[in-house]
Amino acid sequence: MAPRGGFSNRLGFIAAAAGSAVGLGNIWGFPFEVGQGGGGIFVLIYLFFCFTLCLPVMLTEVAIGRRTNKNAVGAFTALGYKRWNFIGKLGVLSGVLILSFYNLIAGWSFGYIFEMATANFNISEGFNSFTSDLLKVGSYALIFMLMTSLVVSKGISGGIEKIAKILMPTLILMILGVVIYSLTLPHSMEGLKFYLLPDLSEIKFSTIYNAMGQAFFSLSLGMGALITYGSYVGKNENLVSSVTFITLADVGIAVLAGLMIFPLVGFLTEGSMSGVNSGPELIFVTLPKIFGTIGGVTGAIVGTFFFILLCFAALTSTVSLMEVPVSYTVDEWGISRKKAVVISAIVVFLVGIPSMLGHGFSCFFTEFAQFGDSEKPLNFLGVIMGIANDTFLPLGGFLIMIFASHIWKKENLDQEIMMGAPKYESSLLRKYMHLSTSYIIPIVLFSIFVTTVINTFF
Ligand code: PFF
């Protein structure tokens, strides 16, 4: 076991890391990004990025964490490159920004448990009044933040591992159930076509950039969350197979979430698919309507259960997001875990307030900014998502790659990966890792980053 306390076994790490990856990003984020990104073409680019670019980044992050037994910032110092620990600091900043809005969406999901339990399927019609009810959403977000804080303060194997192991499989079964139901509905095939058949004419630069951001976000990469989790993994674990499993599980659940939502959109729009690009409210509007069609007590039970599981999926992710600033402050500032949790929770909650206000309550934050070629103004949450998910995470990934392959050197990375995975030495993956970490990934990520900055500001 890793010296500073760690996962109790291999399954514990896989469950916790998959728990970090699988979350609102898969079930809430992926479908609406697909909707806005023109359907199948987005899915294709996303899948391509996950396996060719993100998997090597994940392997590198986990290996750095395990080698150093340190948090996202301390890891760079421990390897002897203190000057590079700004990458970890960027990760801590990304973690705080992401958690600030993620906690709000998790709060909505939490609130929906009660809406579904009282069979309020009409919530879809009143979604805007729900999100602009500051007292309600503020309280839900606060409760969610307290739950996250409680789990994180219990430490690694006590909290995170246990909940992840039971709830992930249940969530998959539940989604499969809804997928099967949704495929039996009229017009479901139109939805499926939109989702699975790539339309090349829909491809824009923003499709590529958003697919990249979504892939990083969904796999929890580019901000040191997996450096942190890697630091709790034992030396005899096979990192290659763990990382492959985590990627497959995460991508698999995102794909399933799409299979669940798009047939439902086909059904609700009678095949026209209008409204599919409606943004972050997509699942909060479509799913209740569908639970409504099941009707009565059964609909209420299914709906309630669904949002309970969604909240658990979100919780295993919020926990990993909070673990980044917490392990940083515990290790580097020498404060107690409890104190670190309290400070992080307060900072994150405060940073999240403008996102909360930006859903109808305050005009200023609701129509916060307009960039590049976007048609309508983005709310505060949209701006933070653009900065953190789509820009900081790929930038973090780029810097980690440059660091690992050119500063720390790929021989050291190899050595760490090979511990527990002896076959890696003579594998094709190793050759691909060398090529991709040194050249392919940095070049792709850097080009996307530069083009994005130009597109946004000029
Ligand atoms: N991967 C999580 C999701 O898809 O919901 C979100 C996330 C968790 C992003 C942890 C980044 C992170 F470090």
CATH 1.10.4160.10 fits 10-457, yes or no: yes
CA of 84 to the centre of ligand 1 (A): 23
Question: What b-and-e string marks burial along 370-399, b requiring 16 or more CB atoms within 10 Å of the CB?
Answer: eeeeeeeebbbbbbbbbbbbbbbbbbbbbb
pLDDT of residue 172: 87
Q: Are 315 and 106 in contact (CB under 8 A)?
A: yes
CA of 91 to the centre of ligand 1 (A): 12
Is residue 65 within 6 Å of ligand 1 at its C-beta? no
Mapped onto helix, strand or coil, the DSSP state of residue 221 is coil
The number of CA neighbours under 13 Å toward the Cβ of 303 is 32
Angle between the 134-153 and 296-333 helix axes, to the nearest 10 degrees? 60
What secondary structure does DSSP assign to 293-305, as a single string? HH-HHHHHHHHHH
Which one, of 9, 15, 84, lies nearest residue 320 by Cα? 15
Q: Which residues contact 246 (CB under 8 A, 6 or more apart)?
A: 14, 17, 18, 21, 58, 219
Which one, of 421, 390, 424, lies nearest residue 221 by Cα? 390
CA of 19 to the centre of ligand 1 (A): 9
Q: Residue 47 has which token pair?
A: 């899948």
Q: Are 18 and 246 in contact (CB under 8 A)?
A: yes
pLDDT of residue 157: 61
Measured CA to CA, the distance from residue 64 to residue 72 in angstroms comes to 9
Is residue 98 within 6 Å of ligand 1 at its C-beta? yes
Pocket probe mutation, ligand 1, options 90, 108, 214, 218, max atoms within 8 Å of Cβ: 218
pLDDT of residue 18: 87
pLDDT of residue 156: 61
Q: Which residues contact 29 (CB under 8 A, 6 or more apart)?
A: 214, 217, 218
**Which atom of ligand 1 is closest in space to residue 218's alpha carbon?**
4
Split the chain (458 residues) into runs of 10 and give each run's mean pLDDT. 57 82 93 92 96 96 95 94 96 96 96 91 83 93 96 73 74 89 92 94 87 92 92 90 95 94 91 79 88 86 90 91 93 93 97 92 86 76 89 93 95 95 94 96 90 76
CA of 395 to the centre of ligand 1 (A): 16
Region for residue 315 given its phi and psi (left: phi exceeds 0; alpha: psi -120 to 50; beta: otherwise): alpha
DSSP 3-state percent helix, strand, coil across the chain (nearest 5)? 80, 0, 20
pLDDT of residue 159: 59
Q: What is the DSSP letter of 91?
A: H
Is residue 36 within 6 Å of ligand 1 at its C-beta? no
Is residue 19 within 6 Å of ligand 1 at its C-beta? no
Amino acid letter, residue 312? F
pLDDT of residue 290: 86
Which one, of 196, 229, 185, lies nearest residue 95 by Cα? 229
CA of 298 to the centre of ligand 1 (A): 32
Which one, of 359, 188, 205, 332, lies nearest residue 259 by Cα? 188
Q: Are 230 and 65 in contact (CB under 8 A)?
A: yes
Pick the residue whose CA is nearest to atom 9 on ligand 1.
Answer: 220
pLDDT of residue 3: 42
CA of 98 to the centre of ligand 1 (A): 8
